Amino acid sequence: MDKSIIFLNPDDIGVHPLIQFLEENGVFKYSQRELDIMVQSVQNIDFLQPILVTPAPEGSDKKYLRVAGKLRVEAARQLGQTVPFISGNLR
């Protein structure tokens, strides 16, 4: 599997269907306090760990689908910055 770290705008990221199902059913919840801590950490230190994505299927309006890293994507969105990704063909 070819892996590389890239930086992408959070708006270019969708959510993998399985992860979306789990999130809609109460898995992977986080509090506003946890998000605030992540935002502060990114402001002070930067991202310590990239998120995990898979390429979006053809015809999608997104480039990648998030598999892991919801909180980091939301922090990047709030800060108006890009987030590091590990990209690879995970299908």
pLDDT of the residue at 86: 78
Structure confidence at residue 6 as a pLDDT band (50, 70, 90): confident
Structure confidence at residue 13 as a pLDDT band (50, 70, 90): very high
- What domains, with CATH codes, occur in the chain? 4-87 (3.90.1530.10)
Backbone angles phi, psi at 75, to 5 degrees: -65, -45
Structure confidence at residue 90 as a pLDDT band (50, 70, 90): very low
The token duo for 68 is 């892991």
Radius of gyration of the chain (CA): 13
Residues 21/32/84/57 CA torsion (nearest 10 deg): 20
Mean pLDDT estimate for the chain = 88
To which H or E segment does residue 34 belong?
helix 32-44
Tens of pLDDT along 17-57? 999 999 999 888 889 999 999 999 999 998 888 899 988 99
